[in-house]
Each structure stands twice: as structure tokens, then as C-alpha cells.
Amino acid sequence: MIKDNILSIKSDFIGSSPVEIGRGISLRARTRRLELNLTQAALASRSGVSLGTLKRFERYGEISLKNLLLLAVALKSTDGFSSLFSSRNYSTFEEAVSQAAPKKRKRGRIND
């Protein structure tokens, strides 16, 4: 378990692939489950997520957003979601002042 804690602390999302990010999240969720002394079956029951889905998430990092949120609530770990797609943070006051107030866009312009 200590090894899992060290791995989860060192994981960094910057420059990571979606697979690596998912795996990091699943490792932290597993560590949190074990900290709460819950079995996979108990967490599945408390969260409403099927046991198979939970096992797949812990093993491969694959899960739907709905089920991820259900697990986060059951693990009392929802704090990070509030900053997920937050506005840009400026490093200095001058940088913030020099930027024009961004328009509230209703749709994007770039098509790939």
C-alpha cells in the first residue's frame, strides 16, 4: 500500500496521455478505498457502480464519467472536480491586467 501512495503522489498530469491520467486516477481511487478499509464489493455496493465496472476501473483506468462521480462521492473525494475545467490562472498581476477581458464564447471557431 505504501508503494501505491508513493506512485499516486508522484503522478503528474502535465504531458501525460489520457491512458496515463486514467491510470493515475484509478490508482488514487484504489488507495483511497484501501485507506477507508473497503473491499471492492463494499465500494461497489455503496456507490451503485457494478463490481465489474469497479474492477475494470482499478485495473485499467477505464470508467464512465457518471460512474467516476458515483465512486468519488462514495469515497468522499469530490473536491478536485470543482477545478477540473477552471479559468486560466495568471502568474503575475501584470499578466492579468495586460490581458483583455475574455469574451464569454457560446461556441468555438476551430474545426479540426
pLDDT tens by residue, 58-91: 999 999 999 999 999 999 999 988 888 887 777 8
- Its pTM stands at 0.69
Q: Cβ distance 61 to 25 under 8 Å?
A: yes
Residue 17, burial from CB neighbour count under 10 angstroms (0-12, 13-18, 19+): exposed
Kindly state the average pLDDT of the residues 88-102.
74
Please name the amino acid found at residue 25.
I
Q: Cβ distance 72 to 78 under 8 Å?
A: yes
Question: Tell me: domain 2-82, CATH 1.10.260.40, correct?
Answer: yes
At residue 109, the pLDDT reads 76
Domain ranges, ordered by start, for the chain: 2-82
At residue 101, the pLDDT reads 64
At residue 95, the pLDDT reads 75
Return the number of other C-beta atoms located less than 10 Å from residue 73's C-beta. Answer: 13
pLDDT tens by residue, 5-34: 444 444 445 558 999 999 999 999 999 999
